[in-house]
Amino acid sequence: MPRRALLASAGVLLAAAAWSPAALAAADPWSRSGASVDAQRLVRWVAASANHQGMAFAVIDKPAATIHVFGPAGGYAGSAPVLLGSALGDRSAPGIGQKPLSQIRSHERTTPAGRFVSEPGSNLQGHDIVWIDYDAAVSLHRVRGAPAERRVQRLASPVLAERRISNGCVNSPAEFYNRCVAPWFGREAGVVYVLPDSEPFATFFPAADAAYPLANLPS
C-alpha cells in the first residue's frame, strides 16, 4: 500500500478510536464518576435546558449518598460521599425549621428532595455553611459532630445505611467542601438538586424525566 494511503488509513483509525465510547469516557471525568442513572439524566437535562440559570449547581443523590458539583458553566468539579438525614422521606415536616433539635422526632429527620436555590450563611457557632432550604433549616456543611457518632468514619463506609445519621442536613468531607463547595456556593447563590429516596424521580423532576426517559437511555 502506498505511504500516503497508509497514513490516511491510520488517520481514520485514530479518529475512530478518539471518538469511541472508551476514549470519550477517558476524556470526560463526569462519565467516570460512577454516578447513578438518575443523576446522569438530571445533569443532562440541566445542561440542555440551562435550568441552573448560569449558577453553580450540585446534585445530591440520596439513594447513593453522594454529591456531584458543577461550576456555573456546567464543568464537572468533583464528587464525594455525604451524610444525610437518618430517616427516609422526601418532604420536610411542617414547621421543622422552628423546632429545637431536641424536639425533632426520628421520622422527621429527612433530607428533602427537589430543586433549591442555595444561599451562603453561617451557623450559631459562626462556621460557614450553605443553606439548601433556610425555612426548613436544611444546610450543606463540613462534616462534624460528636466523636461517638463516628461521622468521619461513616463517610468512608461503603454501607449506605451508615451514611444516614443527621437531622436532615447534608455533611460532606471537609476537604471536598473547601475545594468544591465553598468557592462557589459559599460566596453566592447556587442551585442544589436533591434526588428522592422514597418517591419517584418524576415527582420532583418531571421535565427531566420526560426529556430523558429511562427506556430511551443507552445501555
The pLDDT tens digits for 50-90 are 999 999 999 999 999 999 999 999 999 999 999 999 999 99
Q: Are residues 61 and 98 in the same domain?
A: yes
Residue 5, CA distances (Å) to 18, 109, 179 in order: 20, 67, 50
Predicted pLDDT of residue 77: 96
Taking all residues of the chain, what is their mean pLDDT, rounded to a whole number? 87
Q: Is residue 219 part of a domain?
A: no
Q: Say if residue 70 is exposed, middle or buried (CB neighbours under 10 Å; 0-12, 13-18, 19+).
A: buried
Predicted pLDDT of residue 219: 52
Count: domains in the chain: 2
CA torsion angle 23 27 33 36 (round to 10)? -60
Q: Say if residue 89 is exposed, middle or buried (CB neighbours under 10 Å; 0-12, 13-18, 19+).
A: buried
Judge if pTM exceeds 0.95: no
Contacts of 104-107 with C-beta under 8 Å, sequence gap 24+, read 104/167
Q: Is residue 104 part of a domain?
A: yes
Q: Are residues 89 and 9 in the same domain?
A: no
Phi–psi pair at 2, nearest 5 degrees: -60, 150
Q: Is residue 108 part of a domain?
A: yes
Cα dihedral across residues 154, 134, 210, 196: positive or negative: positive
Q: Are residues 104 and 10 in the same domain?
A: no
pLDDT-derived band at 147 (thresholds 50, 70, 90) equals: confident
Q: Is residue 209 part of a domain?
A: yes
Report the pLDDT averaged over residues 138-149: 89
**Residue 9 above 50 pLDDT?**
no
**Residue 218 above 70 pLDDT?**
no
Cell 414547621 identifies what position?
A: 95
Range of the domain at 175: 33-198+205-213
Predicted pLDDT of residue 28: 72
Q: Are residues 83 and 125 in the same domain?
A: yes
Q: Is residue 132 part of a domain?
A: yes
Alpha-helical runs (H) found in 67-150: none
Q: What is the pLDDT of residues 192-212, one digit of tens each?
A: 999 999 999 999 999 999 999
Q: Which helix (H) or strand (E) holds 3?
A: helix 3-18
DSSP β-bridge partners for residue 128: 122
pLDDT-derived band at 25 (thresholds 50, 70, 90) equals: very low
Query: Are β-strands 114-122 and 128-133 bridged in parallel, bridged antiparallel, or unpaired?
Result: antiparallel
Q: What's the rounded Cα separation, in Å, for the pair 198 and 91?
A: 10
Q: Are residues 163 and 57 in the same domain?
A: yes
Predicted pLDDT of residue 125: 84
Q: Are residues 68 and 101 in the same domain?
A: yes
Report the pLDDT averaged over residues 3-32: 47
Take residue 64 and report the three cell numbers written for it.
Answer: 447513593
Q: Are residues 3 and 88 in the same domain?
A: no
Q: What's the rounded Cα separation, in Å, for the pair 156 and 147?
A: 15
